[in-house]
Each structure stands twice: as structure tokens, then as C-alpha cells.
Structure 1
């Protein structure tokens, strides 16, 4: 049933998007206006500054920016392709890229002269489609680290040095599990590593929950599966077979969600994608730590009456630490109303001029080294140490960085993996159930 539903959704989306391509450009746009969509409200002021500079450099061209929340963003973007009201340029996500490229709603950017060496390693290469054309211009990047409450760590007797030198394994969890257990406190004041600990009545969880992780586990289990040597698919990019049926993967997932069964990690019922994410649990004092992305640095730093520090991800069985390194890009729509203006805007967005402007806001790490340097300096000015996020990018000896799985049919993979991971985490479904899910996914990729 799941397979038939997923294939039907893909077919319907493909038909609607392709048919939408025959219609006109962005509603309400004009020959001197470039329409640009993004989802992050925190970044809006930075890109408004970029737009002002761009307009001064290109007299007669104007940029109109629209910002909306994450869920609304993708719903409205898909609807805009169907209705023919798509923006000229939009912020693209690598998880969505494969399907958009396959549906031919993106404009090739080969003539923009994007040089991979001008950006942080790997960011530009990820946006090359299976047809060899470029469809995204590097925008920014992020990695994942462990945020933790300094006072709670001190009360638990854990130092910054210890938390920055954790190891883990799927057998006993290593020093990471011991630290999380130590940070956990039940309603009687007993810690998770003390006799009499009541896992059914926990006041403070050692680790917050960010949900089941769907098929990518970016801020949940991905750092563990990668540092155990597992990869999402059979190839780095455009894989044709997923590997959720791997015994390595399943052993890690069993251990990871087992932390909740032991009472060390907040249960699935404590997670709400809209109102009670990991950062909210830490802010409320319900969790002592959380894995989260660099885009959340300012959020954690802004918690009132609470000092939050960060640590690099734990070292795994491979002897390395791992973190997903996600990189966003800007894409031009195939039927952009102002295509020439759109191409100029995207070229400018990936330039050092705009990247440094964005970096100076200290909200994200821009894709160019100069932009990244500006961001690090901006964070330092705010008194925020971001080395847990930048070190994995600079140190390839001790760290492994990896991307979202880049494949076709991402929406179908999500449709299958989202409930599958929720069942494992929330309902205790055996991890071996992923064997069937993986088979269903591979059938879709074979279409």
C-alpha cells in the first residue's frame, strides 16, 4: 500500500509540474524585477542588504524578496510551479534538488562560471545533475554539533574537555552514553548512572529529541551511522540503491533509540515538529543537551538565564567523528519571468561581496571562505565559539563530513521512511522492519 501511494504521489507531482511549465512566469513580476524566495526569517535582513548593493550595481533591476516558513515554503513553491506563478529565483535544498531537476523545472547555470574551488569543499559539486548540468549556485553551509547546558554539565561533574572528547559504539554506547546518562536526572534527584534511577519519571533528560529523523537523520542519528562507516546509498551522489537494510545501520538505530527506552533521551511523545523541538526542550530545562545544526547557533545563544556551550560530535567505531555538511544553493526556475535578471542575481548571491555581507550578520556560514571568515568573526564579536561547527570542515583527518543523500524520488523516500522511523522510535517496531521499507524504496528508484 505504501509503495503504490508513494508512486502515485510522484506521478501526480511530475504531471502537474511538467504541465505547469507551459504557463507564464511569476505573477506580479515585471521586466525590471527579479523575484526571490527564501524560508529563513533570520537571514532576510542580510539578503535585503545584498539586494540593495545588487541594485546599485545593476541600475534598472530590482529584487523583490518573499520569506515564508519552512513548511509553507515548499508547499507554495510546488503550487507555484503548477500554477505558473513560480519565483525567478529560490533558495534550494539538496534534499529537494533531485526531484526538481528530474522534473525539469530548473534552469541550467552552466554559463555562470561557478568554480568549485571558490567555495568550501563539496558544496558546488553537489548541485550537478545526472545530466551533467549545474542547477544550483552555492549559498551557505552547516554542520551539526552537540549543544549543552553548561550549568547542568558542571552539576553532573562533566567538563568541557570531557564532552569534547566523547566516543561511542553500538554495543555499550561508550563514554557518550555514560555522559548522557550522567546528565539525566529523575524526579527524586537520581541520575541515570545511579542505583534506583527511575526511567519512567525523568525530570531532565540527558539528550533532547528531534524526532525519528525520517530518512536522513540530520540532527538525530546521522552522526552515529556515518561514524560507524555507513552511507545512505551505494554511491556518493545519485545512488540507485538505499542501504537502510544494512545491519550496521540497523544496529546503530537500535542503540540510538534505545537511549529513550533507558530514559536518557526524551521520548518520541515529547517531540513536536512545530512547537517542541530539541532547542525548546533545552530552553525549558527539560533536556541537558541536544544535537542541532549551525543554523541554530543564535537561537541557543539567546536562551535567557542559561549558558549554552557546544562540543564536536562523538568519535565512532571508525575512529572518526562525523557530521552532515549540508549546503544550500540558489536556483533559477526554468520559466523565470525575468531570466536574465535572475541569472545576474544568482551570480551575485554566490559572490564574495554578498557572501561577506551575509557572513557579517553572524547567522549562517556562507559558502565562500571569505564569507565563512566573516561569519566566524561576527560570532566571535557576539562572544560565541563556533569551532565545534567549523573544525570538521577544516580537519579531514579526524572528521568525516557527508551530504544528504542525493537521489531521485526524495519525496517518495520521505513518504516511506518518515512513518517507518516514527514506528521504530515511538512504537518499538523492530529495526528489521526497515528491510521491507528499503525494498520498497529501491523499487521506486528502479522506475
Structure 2
């Protein structure tokens, strides 16, 4: 779509919102519509809703849950058709565009959420949800980092101690001890390991490292971001709200050349082997024996804890930190979700009461005790760590230590998110497939920078 057509579409959407009463401040309807996409979190938030309703007689929370793709298409359609919810779970990759379209209500302008304090949450989370105008458009809900899940049985078969994974390091020249471990965990159909003579990279039974695609849909969050981050690379000139990209830098391109090279060596599945753009997840690859290890997010802890083999026996899953990079440190992308209020809400003050409760200590502790995600408040995080240890026998500190040790970097937040996604996804797919050289990302970088010339 051309820039003019995009601008027309945005203007049309805004016109429709205004016509539908987008700034409505009418009386309470009694029911606050709340949307989320994660089915695993719904039970915990229903408990929060029950507690909120007890404290606010006359108000009712109606929770609707949709799958990721349906969620955003329904939400976008709802903004146009006046069917959007009062409150919804927001994502950093989406909210900047929603702010541009003026479909989010500034929380500073509503009494219940006017006094939200940044210091109440994990460092850096609350600041992410402030727009370029300084207004707050979401209250912190939870956060996530990346770590490496692994099948303990696969490690035993390879003669690798779990403690070894704690000290792995990598570099873009020879892959370091990380690549050596991944190679040894790789086994071809004849039982030959990736670091042994006679290994057949064209007929692999178990890959050392799982893959979730090229990473163009989310800045490589569960693919290459831990490597580019630990190499000292950042996507933007500043974050949030940067306007110049760094995909042309040698450190980025060298890292991706090495990373996608793992697939060429047979240590990681090819683009086709995982289903192309519709890649099966790391959890499924480990569960089926396609992969021995894989990088994934903390939001997947509950899913991994329930994995079983073909006979129905529970898999023995472990978690290790991301490897140490050329900077001498490990790294993880730091992402966070928030709850936002739409300008279509006819009961913004009551919606703000619910948003304040969602980000408050009582609800955050309820979510922490469910062990599904790490709540934004430190106490909620501690409860989640304790739950996973006691109920799942899982040490999840590989995720939380990244925050403690300050080895995280922020998910890139900037405007033009939809256009950036449309440009990045096919380009990175091409690099993974091998149809485009890594150097082609310099041209992609120029295209991304062009998006901001109109607004500079």
C-alpha cells in the first residue's frame, strides 16, 4: 500500500471513530468489556475480575479471549465499527500505531489512573507505555525475557551436563562453545552427531537448536535477538521512539550470517523443515524430538511444563540462560504488556478503575500465584518464581536473572510498526531460506529509514 493510501486509511479510521462517539464519556453501563489473547492467563484474570466485582458492586467485568491473529484483526475492526472493548491487553509492537490513530485514551486524564507510579513496577516497564507526548497509554501488566529450554534426556544421551549450558558463550566467527554444544546435540538419521565424521546434514533426526522462523515479525525476539543483543547491537538510534535503524551495521549482519549459517550446517532446522512462515513452535519441536534445545519466552513456561512424549509421559524439561556474547555478557530482549483503554469506551472512569486494579498489588499477586507469566510488580514476580519451583519443579531464574543483572534491552518501539513488519518479514525470510544474502539487509535498512522522512 502506498504512503498516500495508508494516510487515507488512517484518516478514514479516525473519522469513523469520531462519528461513532470515540470520545464518549457517557454513564456507566454496568459491564466493562475486557479483551486478552492468552488462554493460559484467562483463569487468573477471571479471579482478578471476581475480586474487583466484590469491591465495586454494580460493575461487572466480561472477559473475551481470542487467538493472537484473530485478536488484532477483531480489535482493528472494532475500532472502525464501534465494537472495540473498553479495555484490552496491549503489545509494544502495536501500541505506537494505536496512539497515532488516537484510539487510546491517555490514562493521566482519568482520576483512577492519574497517579500510576513508575517505581511500583520492574525498572523500565512503566516508561515504555508513555507516548512521545509524555502521556501514559497503558499500565504495566507483565514482562518477559528469553531463555533456553532443553530436553534433559537429549542432554544425557549426548553426555552433556545441564550445568554446562550455564556457561556457554558464542561469537560470529566459530560459534564458540555454544555452537560446539549445539553441534554435539544434533543427530542425523544414522545416529551420527553433528561434530562427528560422516554427519549427514541433509538427513537430520534431531537438531541441536530449534527455530521459530526468520524473526521478521518481532525483531527476532525468540530467534536471533539474544545473539545480536549480546554482541552489543541495538535496532534503533534510540529506544523508544527512534527514527533511524541499524540493520546495516556489520555487527548485526555478521551475527545473522552466523545464526542462519547454523541451518546450513544442519544444526538448526531449515526454513522449510519448520513449515516456513507458519513455523511450528519450539515447544512442539522439542516435544516431537525434532530439536534438543530452543530459545523461547517466559510466557511459554506453563506450556513447556506440560509437555509429554508420544507415550504420554511427562518430558523432563530444563531451562538455561542465553549464551554469553562477544561483549562478555548474555542478553535478552525485555518486552512488556499493558492494559489500555480505548477512546470508544462509554465509561472511561469505570474502565480506569479496572485498569488500576489490574496493575495493582492484589491482582498482580493473583497472577503471580498462577505461575503463567511474570507480573510487572516485583512481588508478583517473586510469587511466580516460587510457584514454578514448588508446583512444577522448574527453576525459572534464567529469565528473571536477566532483569536482576541488567542484561536486558528493550523491544524496539517506534511508529510505522505495520509498515516495518511488512518490509522486514519477507526480507528476513529470504535470508533464512538462502535466496537473499545478509548484505541485502542494508537495502532493507534504507527502506525503513525512508518511512520516517515524511515526519522528520
Query: Aligning the two structures, in what range does the TM-score lie when normalised by the shorter sequence?
Result: over 0.9
From 314, 337, 344, the equivalent of 2:323 is: 314
Match of 1:77 among 67, 75, 78: 75
Please list, as runs of the form range in 1=range in 2, the aligned pairs for 1:41-440 lying within 5 A after superposition.
41-110=39-108, 111=111, 112=113, 113-214=115-216, 216-272=219-275, 276-304=280-308, 305=313, 306-382=315-391, 383-396=393-406, 400-440=407-447
Unpaired runs of 5+ residues, structure 2, are none
Tell me the CA shift for residue 15 of structure 1: 2.3
> How far is the alpha carbon of 1:271 from its aligned partner?
2.5
Name structure 1 gaps, 5 residues minimum.
Answer: none
Closer, same or farther in 2 for the Cα pair 1:196/1:42, shift >3 Å?
same
Separation of aligned partners in 2, 1:283 and 1:423: 28
How far apart in 2 are the matches of 1:365 and 1:12?
A: 40
8 Å contact kept, 1:6–1:412: no
Cα 1:9–1:351 change in 2 (3 A) is: farther
Q: Give the conservation status (yes or no) of the 8 Å contact 2:53–2:61.
A: yes
Mapped partners of 1:189, 1:7: distance in 2: 54
RMSD: 1.5
Q: Secondary structure at the match of 2:222?
A: coil
- Please give the secondary structure, in 2, of the residue aligned with 1:384: coil
What is the TM-score with the length of structure 2 in the denominator? 0.93
Aligned residues: 438
Q: Take 2:421 and 2:224, find their aligned partners in 1: how far apart are those partners?
A: 16
Deviation of the 1:30 alpha carbon: 6.4
Closer, same or farther: CA 196–9 of 1 in aligned 2, 3 Å: farther
CA distance in 1, matches of 2:213, 2:222: 9
In 1: Cα distance, 2:174 partner to 2:396 partner: 30
Q: How does 1:31-50 map to 2 (within 5 A)?
A: 31-50=29-48
Question: CA separation in 2, counterparts of 1:336 and 1:209?
Answer: 40
Residue pair 2:208, 2:291 contacting (<8 A) in 1 also: yes
Q: Secondary structure at the match of 1:121?
A: coil
Tell me, in whole angstroms, the C-alpha distance in 1 between the residues paired with 2:402 and 2:5.
38
- Name the CA distance, whole Å, in 1 between partners of 2:185 and 2:452: 43
TM-score (norm 1): 0.95
Q: Is the 8 A contact 2:146 2:332 kept in 1?
A: yes
- The structural deviation recorded for 1:69 is 0.2
The answer for the alignment partner of 2:7 in structure 1 is 11
